[in-house]
């Protein structure tokens, strides 16, 4: 039954997936009401990517800075389910670049990407080569905040959540910062740095067992505070 529902969701979103690469987000993001089948998608995708050869699609000459906001879109059902709900969006996941002892890394809140057996869904810190691996990414973008000091403070706020061991927020409640989902982490980090990259509007989405009011990746991507530095695809 779950497979049938997921296949129906995939059929409904596949038709417009090719047109999203060059699609520009609508900066006046409306309130949307969609059914987001992420739990079903995650269950179906678990364990389906082993044994393949992957490579990083981030350009080799890309120079990342602390506070850069990084977006990606995958080719799987989970990514398509997010895009089916975020009708103005090009991306299904977002993270932030941090300086870890002189090495640029990416902090992001993510589910379904364990580093070891028994690993929990949480705020992680990954190498850019991993974050932008073709295991997870077909299209990516790096955006740079207009103010480098705010960018650095935001990266430090995100790093603090990683060091704290913050768990992934499966309730998608950005009013409770004890756990965080991906866009919540970015909005929180910049708010802690003194600049809001999203407004107060939220989007109501329906899960199989609950409803939530969420921040979409397009809400962050459409911020005038962010400027595109690199766009790339597989």
Please report where in the chains the tokens 């090009």 appear, as a residue. 90
Query: How do the pLDDT tens digits run along the chain, 234 residues long?
Result: 333 333 334 444 444 443 444 444 444 434 444 444 444 444 334 434 455 789 999 999 999 999 999 999 999 988 999 999 999 999 999 999 999 999 999 999 999 999 999 999 999 999 999 999 999 999 999 999 999 999 999 999 999 999 999 999 999 999 999 999 999 999 999 999 999 999 999 999 987 778 999 999 999 999 999 999 999 999
Report domain extents, the chain: 2-15+38-44+54-233
Closest CA to 233 of 108, 141, 95: 141
pLDDT at 40: 40
* Structural contact between residues 40 and 6, judged by C-beta atoms closer than 8 angstroms: yes
Q: Which fold has domain 2-15+38-44+54-233?
A: endopeptidase fold (from Nostoc punctiforme) (3.90.1720)
Please report where in the chains the tokens 């890309």 appear, as a residue. 62
pTM: 0.80
What span, in angstroms and rounded, lies between the C-alpha atoms of 172 and 209?
A: 13
């Amino acid at each position: 039954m779950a497979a049938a529902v997921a296949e129906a969701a995939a059929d409904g979103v596949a038709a417009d997936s090719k047109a999203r690469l060059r699609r520009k987000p609508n900066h006046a993001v409306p309130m949307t009401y969609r059914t987001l089948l992420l739990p079903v998608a995650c269950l179906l995708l678990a364990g389906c990517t082993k044994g393949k050869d992957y490579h990083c699609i981030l350009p080799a000459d890309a120079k990342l800075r602390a506070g850069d906001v990084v977006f990606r879109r995958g080719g799987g059902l989970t990514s398509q389910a997010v895009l089916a709900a975020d009708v103005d969006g090009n991306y299904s996941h977002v993270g932030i670049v941090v300086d870890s002892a002189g090495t640029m890394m990416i902090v992001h809140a993510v589910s379904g990407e364990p580093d070891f057996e028994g690993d929990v869904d949480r705020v992680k810190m990954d190498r850019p080569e991993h974050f932008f691996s073709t295991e997870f990414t077909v299209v990516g973008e790096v955006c740079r905040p207009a103010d480098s000091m705010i960018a650095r403070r935001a990266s430090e706020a995100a790093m603090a959540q990683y060091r704290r061991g913050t768990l992934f927020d499966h309730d998608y409640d950005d009013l409770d910062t004890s756990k965080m989902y991906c866009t919540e982490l970015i909005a929180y980090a910049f708010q802690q740095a003194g600049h809001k990259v999203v407004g107060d509007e939220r989007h109501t989405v329906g899960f199989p067992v609950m409803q939530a009011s969420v921040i979409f990746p397009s809400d962050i991507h459409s911020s005038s505070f962010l400027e595109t530095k690199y766009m790339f695809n597989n």
